[in-house]
Structure 1
Amino acid sequence: MVASSFALALGIAALVANAAAYPIPAGDLKGRIDVQAHRGGLGLRTEESYWAFAYALEIGSDTLEMDTLFTKDGVPVVWHDHYIYPSKCTGDYVGDFINNLTLAQVKSLDCDLQLDDHPQQETHPGTKIATLEEVLELVNCYGDDGVTINLETKLDPTTPEQTWPVEKYLDLIPLLQKHALLERTTIQSFDWRTLVLIHDRYPAVPIVALLDDTTVVPDANGTYPWLGGLNLDDYAGDWVAAAAAIGSSVVSPVHGFPSNLTVNSPGYTPFTTEAVVDEAHELGMKVIPWTVDYEVTISKLLDDGVDAIISNYPERVLAVARQRGLSVGRVRNPSKPECLAKASE
């Protein structure tokens, strides 16, 4: 694909430009890194769209990272936001919450606008918000039996009126089973209530504890609403240990903050560190930082020993990891236009 080749060239060029600031030695690591396409790879395609997930499959991403929440009539759709942003969609229901819209109303929206901070995004007029079932069908249509899914449950314990209750997210499991994809799926969330519930009901399903510097601090009442009933004080503030305590297979922290900066930027504070990785590994968990878009930070995290990287630009992670001698990515999938038949439905 032309866009993919162009992106890879850009990634390699940026690698060279950043090498003086943070050395990237070739072939210094052995092993494998899991490349996760954030929302399908929104750097170059409309986020969470058929086009994005097809692109991620075609460039050889290991994992499709995606979000889900439920419409008013109880249908899980693949979308990041609780409500419809005018920067992403047009139509009668812009500004409404998805849990207040029926699937038919959601499908009436066109979500094909290019994001200002991602000028390389390829857009497709008439792009619709997909249901989770449609995305699972797309994955199966491509026939890549090794690709995995990292599915985020979207809800916020501080604004419960904006989404369905946590128990509704149990409905995701039979849908994944229906499409024979449960065994290739991890369930991730910032709201650890869903993780605790799913782990209790379906202990074989791997859960991923998402967090950042805002979700592991107490609120005004001294509680930790994001942590599924845990009090981080009981763990001496150790959020890695807290993630292990709820049965997480993976801890998934922000790479650093502000998250739009790089490891070389003034004012940047790393959040995912080698010490975090070492502790998580000792506790039997993998570490998957998000959302890592710049080669210099990708390289630093590989030095730290992370197990996977979530990125809006998976092709950049592929380029950096391959330069370092890592086994990375999957065999590129051929384009399959027939799998995109529902992209505008």
Structure 2
Amino acid sequence: MTTSFFDTMPRIIGHRGARGLAPENTLVSFRKAAEVGTKSIEIDVTLTADGVPVIHHDMDVKRCTDGSGPILLKTFEEIRDLDAGSWFSDQYRGVRIPTLEETLDCLADLGISLNLEVKPCAGWQVPTAETVGQFLNTHLKDRFPILLSSFDIEALVTIGRITPHLPLGYLTEAIAPDWEKRLSEAGAASLHVQREFVTEAAVRDVQSAGYKFLVYTVNDEDEAKRLLDWGVDAVITDYPDRLLPLI
């Protein structure tokens, strides 16, 4: 069994690679994150129409490619034809949406750990989690630490059943009053909270209950320092180069 994600988790995690420095959720973004010293990244996985796990955040490809329409309605061949880099800069023209397999190979070469967020389309929670979980069981091969996370409890429960050896993180915006019940139902080991909704008391309560506390997406150095001083386990940022000097 590979080292647990939390045993090696740094306090600064790159968001979608290094989203502020290169086109998000692409191999060039992962390499840029490593280049500036990032030891772990958070990225998103979803499915194509023909069931290929690919790295992409939105349900529609319009924002980050030269195409449009739901990714779930496009075959992998159609996804592969899209330019996922020129929207960010002409320097990245021709960059493609990577597969999960390509990503695992890339991160193994870079030697960094992974927080993989499962991003199913509504209604596709179970098939997405099943496909990704089965893929990880076949292809991960204990090459580096990984944490699986999702906003969707059904997806977490499903993938947790398939990959019981991997830790789970529950994503939320605000912290619900029944947060401990939700974490227990999901089998999660960590709570990931949107930065605006984090309080020092919440950090203390969650950690006292035995869970890790991660915060997203933090790009301001002063805010990051305050959160780190409060003792959050990690902050997720678009600009790891800005926040890494804080630690």
Amino acid at match of 2:179: W
TM-score normalized by the length of structure 1:
0.64
Aligned mate of 1:139, from 107, 111, 125: 107
Unaligned 5+ segments in structure 2 are 1-8
Counterparts in 2 of 1:207 and 1:285: CA distance versus 1, 3 Å: same
* Alpha-carbon contact 1:240-1:251 (below 8 Å) kept: no
Question: What residue is the counterpart of 2:183 in the other structure?
Answer: 243
Show CA shifts across 1:37-92 (max 9, x none). Answer: 1000110111111110011122221212100100011000000011111x4221xx
Shift of 1:155: 2.1
Counterparts in 2 of 1:273 and 1:123: CA distance versus 1, 3 Å: farther
Q: How does 1:123-138 map to 2 (within 5 A)?
A: 123-138=91-106
Aligned structure 1 segments of 4 or more residues deviating by more than 3 angstroms:
none
Question: What residue is the counterpart of 1:169 in the other structure?
Answer: 129
Q: Secondary structure at the match of 1:170?
A: helix
Amino acid at match of 1:133: E
Q: Secondary structure at the match of 1:67?
A: strand
* Alpha-carbon contact 2:108-2:143 (below 8 Å) kept: no
Q: Secondary structure at the match of 2:216?
A: coil
Amino acid at match of 2:219: D
**Structure ranking higher in strand proportion:** 2
Aligned mate of 2:31, from 47, 54, 58: 54
Question: What residue is the counterpart of 2:202 in the other structure?
Answer: 276
Amino acid at match of 2:58: D
Higher relative contact order (CA 8 A, sep 6+): 1
Amino acid at match of 1:76: P
Aligned mate of 1:38, from 3, 11, 15: 15
Aligned mate of 2:64, from 67, 74, 88: 88
Distance 2:46 2:129 in 1: 8
Aligned mate of 2:118, from 153, 156, 175: 153
* Alpha-carbon contact 1:189-1:209 (below 8 Å) kept: yes
Distance 1:165 1:238 in 2: 22
Counterparts in 2 of 1:64 and 1:251: CA distance versus 1, 3 Å: same
Question: What residue is the counterpart of 2:238 in the other structure?
Answer: 312
Amino acid at match of 1:210: L
Q: Secondary structure at the match of 1:196?
A: helix
Counterparts in 2 of 1:179 and 1:239: CA distance versus 1, 3 Å: closer
Counterparts in 2 of 1:181 and 1:316: CA distance versus 1, 3 Å: farther
The total of aligned residue pairs comes to: 238
Amino acid at match of 2:218: V
Unaligned 5+ segments in structure 1 are 1-31, 116-120, 217-236, 257-270, 322-345
* Alpha-carbon contact 1:41-1:56 (below 8 Å) kept: yes
Q: How does 1:322-333 map to 2 (within 5 A)?
A: none
Give the percent of matched residue pairs that are identical in Structure 1 and Structure 2: 30
Q: How does 1:62-211 map to 2 (within 5 A)?
A: 62-85=39-62, 87-90=63-66, 94-115=67-88, 123-142=91-110, 144=111, 147-156=112-121, 159-160=122-123, 164-177=124-137, 178-181=139-142, 184-211=145-172
